């Protein structure tokens, strides 16, 4: 599963935080190297290697800008439809926009999903025109334009594969949704198609590795199978996400929190904490409060950071994560947005705070238990 973590902040465009996933560096280097070593020397022979590197790097950067434009198109259209976009993470195969919620109507989803591929097609068309005008006149620019024309069309076509969660899968779902009126069922079908497309890619990849048809190399097969694996994974994990969203819809933080979360005072020592609370309660997470006011939280990791011989001399408040560095939830906050908040910050627990009082705790396992119990009761 592709995690949203392991990404670098690039800065904000139109109020949207852009993040760069580390896999992007791998693809950037691969693209630049293959352009500079293979594509440009072949398309525009007899020049110095330095020129090829410059052309390769510029072309890679323009490819990157094309992907950003594709994602911006999604985001701007979704904003027009009243759905703000928090952040966009750029991955190896494009980007993932972190929209704050799903579209409420199939028409809005259709427009949001189609905007990206449409943008890629337009950019591809512009590079096609550039290629037409520079061909035979300014050869290096023509070679650059030709590659960017092809890659942008390829990005559009790849994203239009009708498997969820690709853009094409979203377009497909919005159409199903429009004609059946059933959001959940439409999502299930689009996800199944997405998994099917993933398995087809894997199968085709394996066949290529063993049979090598049409002069394809084993490397093409491995690459295809890898894309298939990625698609299957993305479909499955987005389905789990949709199930969660569906189950949590309509609940507030105060309804899913536990209010028996362990509370410890700030001035006890670590050894008192370990003896008096940690070993006996079995909890691995504590809220440090002073007369009901939250001062910080304490996890097993915090405790382990102190060597055992210092446990007698170290107070809890010295090693806790203080409240000003803490993510907190509000009691009437949407349970789903709390989950998203935990996912975004890669944390497993979040205190629920009303004013400056802690009233409960939401942990990931609580949410899972909450949902499981409800489904066992058939609710």
> Which listed residue (56, 116, 140, 162) binds Zn ion by CB under 5 A?
116
Q: How far is CA 263 from CA 145, 295, 360, in A?
A: 63, 11, 10
Q: How far is CA 20 from CA 7, 200, 233, 276, in A?
A: 5, 29, 20, 45
CB of 170 to Zn ion, least distance (A): 8
**Catalytic residue list contains 232:** no
Choices 98-106, 122-130, 163-171, 261-269; region in contact with Zn ion by CB under 5 A: 163-171
Q: In 81-105, where does DSSP find H-type helix?
A: none
To 10 degrees, what angle do helices 364-376 and 218-248 make? 70
Q: What whole-number distance in Å separates Cα of residue 259 and Cα of residue 364?
A: 15
State which residue, 116 or 228, has the beta carbon closest to Zn ion.
Answer: 116
Choices 11-19, 153-161, 179-187, 353-361; region in contact with Zn ion by CB under 5 A: 153-161
CB of 197 to Zn ion, least distance (A): 16
Q: What whole-number distance in Å separates Cα of residue 330 and Cα of residue 358?
A: 10
Q: Is 167 in the site for Zn ion (CB under 5 A)?
A: yes
CB of 72 to Zn ion, least distance (A): 10
State which residue, 120 or 302, has the beta carbon closest to Zn ion.
Answer: 120
Residues 40-79, one symbol each (x = binds Zn ion by CB under 5 A, - = not), give: ----------------------------------------
State which residue, 146 or 167, has the beta carbon closest to Zn ion.
Answer: 167
CB of 111 to Zn ion, least distance (A): 13
Choices 11-19, 162-170, 269-277, 347-355; region in contact with Zn ion by CB under 5 A: 162-170
Please identify which residue in the block is written with the tokens 């337009």.
Answer: 122
Choice among 71, 109, 146, 295 that is catalytic: 71
| E strand spans, 14-131 | 16-21, 85-91, 94-99
Choices 109-117, 147-155, 217-225, 234-242; region in contact with Zn ion by CB under 5 A: 109-117
CB of 164 to Zn ion, least distance (A): 12
State which residue, 116 or 140, has the beta carbon closest to Zn ion.
Answer: 116
State which residue, 96 or 288, has the beta carbon closest to Zn ion.
Answer: 96
Choices 166-174, 264-272, 354-362, 369-377; region in contact with Zn ion by CB under 5 A: 166-174
Q: 243-271 burial by CB neighbour count: b if 16+ within 10 A, else e? A: bbbebbeebbbbebbeeebbebebebbbe
State which residue, 10 or 207, has the beta carbon closest to Zn ion.
Answer: 10
- CA proximity to 345, closest of 4, 1, 2, 100: 4
Please give the residues from 242 up to 261 whose contact with Zn ion meets the rule CB under 5 A.
none
Residue number, nearest CB to Zn ion:
116
Residues 6+ apart with CB under 8 A from 206: 221, 225
Q: Is 109 in the site for Zn ion (CB under 5 A)?
A: no
CB of 5 to Zn ion, least distance (A): 21
To 10 degrees, what angle do helices 49-80 and 139-159 make? 40
Report angle CA 35, 40, 44 to the nearest 5 degrees.
175
Residues 209-228, one symbol each (x = binds Zn ion by CB under 5 A, - = not), give: --------------------
CB of 166 to Zn ion, least distance (A): 7
Q: What whole-number distance in Å separates Cα of residue 6 and Cα of residue 192?
A: 28
- CA proximity to 186, closest of 168, 166, 164: 164
State which residue, 121 or 141, has the beta carbon closest to Zn ion.
Answer: 121
> Coil, strand, or helix at residue 261?
coil
In which order are the strands placed within the sheet that holds 7-13? 7-13, 16-21, 85-91, 94-99
Binding site for Zn ion (CB under 5 A): 116, 159, 167
| Catalytic center residues | 71
């Amino acid at each position: 599963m592709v995690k949203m973590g392991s990404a670098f902040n690039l800065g904000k465009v139109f109020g949207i935080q852009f993040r760069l996933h580390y896999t992007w560096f791998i693809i950037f280097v691969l693209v630049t190297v293959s352009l500079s070593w293979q594509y440009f020397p072949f398309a525009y022979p007899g020049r110095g290697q330095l020129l090829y590197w410059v052309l390769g790097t510029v072309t890679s950067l323009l490819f990157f800008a094309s992907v950003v434009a594709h994602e911006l198109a999604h985001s701007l259209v979704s904003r027009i439809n009243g759905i703000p976009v928090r952040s966009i993470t750029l991955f190896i195969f494009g980007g993932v926009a972190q929209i704050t919620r799903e579209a409420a109507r199939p028409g809005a989803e259709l427009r949001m999903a189609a905007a990206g591929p449409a943008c890629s097609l337009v950019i591809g068309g512009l590079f096609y025109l550039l290629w037409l005008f520079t061909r035979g006149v300014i050869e290096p620019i023509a070679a650059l334009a030709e590659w960017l024309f092809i890659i942008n069309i390829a990005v559009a076509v790849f994203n239009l594969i009708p498997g969820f969660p690709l853009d094409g899968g979203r377009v497909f779902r919005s159409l199903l949704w429009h004609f059946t009126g059933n959001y959940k069922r439409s999502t299930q079908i689009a996800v199944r198609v997405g998994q099917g497309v993933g398995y087809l890619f894997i199968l085709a990849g394996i066949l290529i590795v063993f049979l090598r048809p049409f002069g394809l190399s084993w490397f093409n097969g491995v690459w295809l199978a890898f894309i298939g694996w990625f698609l299957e994974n993305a479909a499955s994990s987005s389905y789990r996400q949709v199930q969660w969203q569906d189950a949590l819809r309509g609940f507030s933080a105060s309804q899913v929190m536990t209010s028996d979360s362990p509370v410890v005072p700030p001035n006890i020592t670590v050894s008192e904490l370990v003896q008096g609370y940690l070993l006996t309660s079995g909890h691995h997470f504590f809220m440090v409060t002073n007369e009901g006011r939250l001062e910080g939280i304490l996890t097993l990791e915090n405790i382990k950071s102190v060597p055992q011989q210092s446990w007698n001399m170290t107070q809890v408040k010295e090693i806790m994560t203080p409240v000003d560095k803490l993510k907190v939830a509000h009691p009437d906050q949407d349970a789903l947005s709390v989950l998203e908040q935990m996912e975004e910050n890669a944390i497993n627990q979040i205190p629920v705070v009303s004013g400056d009082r802690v009233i409960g705790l939401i942990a990931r396992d609580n949410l899972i238990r909450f949902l499981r119990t409800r489904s066992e009761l058939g609710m």
